[in-house]
């Protein structure tokens, strides 16, 4: 037997957990902006860094609140998680398998951890052996584009020249096409057909176009889920639920943001730091030349995207709520936009997709990145002060 939810696909985000959730919500017809999702579940305000700024930071924290806050946004997440060393691990693997099949049979989307690499994926089907999934690494390479198309892509413009180039390669798109820079690549979306293509630039400047997210898929045997070196199994199903009013969405999201920033062990693992202390750990690693090159570039990309979404969330919240809180929300958005801009300096100095072995030994770039982190930390401190004030207003 085989079941496939044909329109369910992962959405491109550096924070792959958001991308998996957004894909599930889009499939269910639960419409909201990227920023309203990322902010409403608190992820947009998270920063999680360890002593050498390893690649674990963006995913190695307790994400339970993301699922709990989802209730405010009109969806409910249920599922199974377990570690490989759990004596009942085999039983939980089978329970996850049965959970996914039951949900998918009912047309409910699922998502999970490390179906491919150590990221989150949308689970869009199954056969008798395992899971079909969509996400990072599943979109297949199709062909190269001319390098001089980069300027047009960077400007976010889908030109007639680019349309003609694609048509010559057998890719005919509708008249309604958008270009966005997401997940370190350019995403071309045919709005009329709903199809997505990604264009990735490698270290030599090569522009590689990958196929439709909708038709691409990976496969993982059900009893391999969680059996990796990391050894964590997570599988969740998503279904519609009631939606809270906008003020409640904002208040509870900001309460979580303020709590997470204090590095409580409830959310932050041993050896990691969040909030302002996270910036201190990050700067220390750069100043002492002890940062991991891969992890540093990855953290820069993830947290810059999050702060961009945090600023957008606060602006949307101001428009939705209005009243006395609106001005404070816009003021907070300005500070988080400043954070995003400073983290963009770090990400530009150390671009993830174009890193080289000598990447992390460039003293000039390391010093510039450290200074940018200091400015980001200062702006974040002011942003957190505004968030506390906003929560107080909403309490009143």
Judge whether 274 and 263 are in contact, CB under 8 Å: yes
* Confidence category of residue 36, pLDDT binned at 50, 70, 90: very high
Q: What is the 3-state secondary structure (H, E, C) of 198-246?
A: EEEECCCCCEEEECCCCCCCEEEEHHHCCCCCCCEEEEEEEEEEEECCH
Q: Is pLDDT larger for residue 355 or for residue 19?
A: 19
Task: Indicate the domain borders of the chain.
Answer: 3-115+234-395, 147-210
Residue 226 has pLDDT above 90, yes or no: yes
pTM for this one? 0.90
The whole-number pLDDT of residue 343 equals 98
* Confidence category of residue 216, pLDDT binned at 50, 70, 90: low
Residue 120 has pLDDT above 70, yes or no: yes
The whole-number pLDDT of residue 358 equals 63
Residue 130 has pLDDT above 90, yes or no: yes
Residue 65 has pLDDT above 80, yes or no: yes
The whole-number pLDDT of residue 373 equals 98
pLDDT in tens, 353-370: 766 666 677 899 999 999
The DSSP bridge pattern shows strands 195-201 and 207-210 to be antiparallel
Q: Identify the bridge partners of residue 180 per DSSP, sorted by sequence position.
A: 187
DSSP string, 292-321: -HHHHHHHHHHHHHHHHHHHHHHHHHHHHH
Compute the mean pLDDT over every residue in the chain, rounded to the nearest whole number. Answer: 92
Average pLDDT (316-345) is: 97
Question: Please, which residues have CB within 8 angstroms of residue 351's CB and are 6 or more apart in sequence?
Answer: 184, 297
Residue 63 has pLDDT above 70, yes or no: yes
Residue 300 phi/psi, 5-degree rounding, is -60, -45
Least confident range from 64-78, 138-152, 381-395: namely 138-152
Residue 171 has pLDDT above 90, yes or no: no
Least confident range from 37-51, 116-130, 198-212: namely 198-212
* Confidence category of residue 140, pLDDT binned at 50, 70, 90: confident
CA distance 21 to 77: 10
Least confident range from 229-238, 265-274, 346-355, 385-394: namely 346-355
Which has the closest alpha carbon to 307: 365, 377, 244? 377
* Confidence category of residue 1, pLDDT binned at 50, 70, 90: confident
Integer angstrom CA distances of residue 29 from 7, 25, 113, 240, 319: 11, 6, 23, 9, 23
Integer angstrom CA distances of residue 301 from 24, 121, 279: 23, 19, 15
Residue carrying the six token digits 């509870």: 252
The whole-number pLDDT of residue 170 equals 86
Average pLDDT (171-194) is: 85
Average pLDDT (279-301) is: 95
Integer angstrom CA distances of residue 321 from 151, 245, 291, 315, 387: 38, 9, 41, 10, 15
**Proportion of the chain above pLDDT 70, given as a percent:** 97
């Amino acid at each position: 037997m085989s079941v496939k939810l044909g329109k369910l696909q992962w959405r491109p985000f550096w924070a792959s957990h958001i991308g998996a959730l957004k894909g599930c919500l889009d499939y269910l017809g639960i419409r909201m902006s990227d920023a309203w999702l990322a902010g409403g579940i608190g992820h947009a305000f998270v920063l999680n860094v360890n002593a050498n700024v390893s690649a674990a930071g963006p995913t190695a924290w307790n994400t339970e609140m993301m699922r709990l806050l989802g209730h405010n946004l009109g969806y409910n997440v249920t599922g199974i998680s377990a570690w490989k060393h759990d004596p009942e691990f085999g039983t939980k693997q089978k329970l996850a398998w049965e959970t996914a099949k039951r949900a998918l049979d009912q047309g409910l989307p699922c998502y999970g951890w490390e179906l491919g690499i150590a990221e989150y994926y949308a689970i869009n089907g199954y056969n008798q052996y395992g899971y079909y999934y969509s996400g990072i690494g599943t979109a297949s390479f199709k062909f190269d584009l001319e390098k001089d198309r980069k300027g047009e892509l960077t400007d976010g413009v889908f030109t007639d020249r680019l349309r003609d180039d694609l048509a010559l390669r057998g890719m005919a798109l509708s008249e309604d096409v958008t270009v966005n820079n997401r997940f370190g690549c350019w995403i071309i979306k045919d709005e009329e057909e709903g199809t997505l293509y990604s264009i990735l630039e490698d270290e030599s400047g090569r522009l590689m176009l990958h196929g439709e997210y909708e038709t691409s898929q990976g496969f993982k045997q059900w009893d391999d889920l969680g059996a990796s070196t990391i050894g964590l199994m997570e599988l969740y199903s998503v279904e519609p639920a009631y939606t809270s009013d906008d003020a409640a969405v904002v208040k509870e999201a900001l309460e979580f943001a303020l709590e997470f920033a204090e590095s409580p062990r409830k959310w932050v693992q041993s050896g990691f730091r969040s909030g302002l202390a996270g910036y201190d750990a990050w700067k220390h690693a750069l100043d002492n030349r002890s940062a991991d090159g891969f992890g540093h570039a990855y953290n820069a990309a993830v947290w810059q995207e999050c702060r961009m979404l945090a600023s957008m969330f606060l602006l949307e919240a101001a428009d939705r709520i209005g009243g006395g809180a609106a001005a404070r929300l816009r003021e907070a958005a300005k500070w988080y936009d400043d954070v995003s801009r400073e983290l963009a300096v770090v990400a530009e100095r150390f671009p993830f997709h174009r890193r080289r072995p000598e990447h992390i030994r460039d003293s000039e770039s390391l010093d510039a990145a450290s200074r940018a982190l200091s400015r980001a930390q200062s702006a974040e401190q002011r942003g957190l002060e505004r968030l506390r004030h906003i929560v107080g207003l909403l309490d009143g």
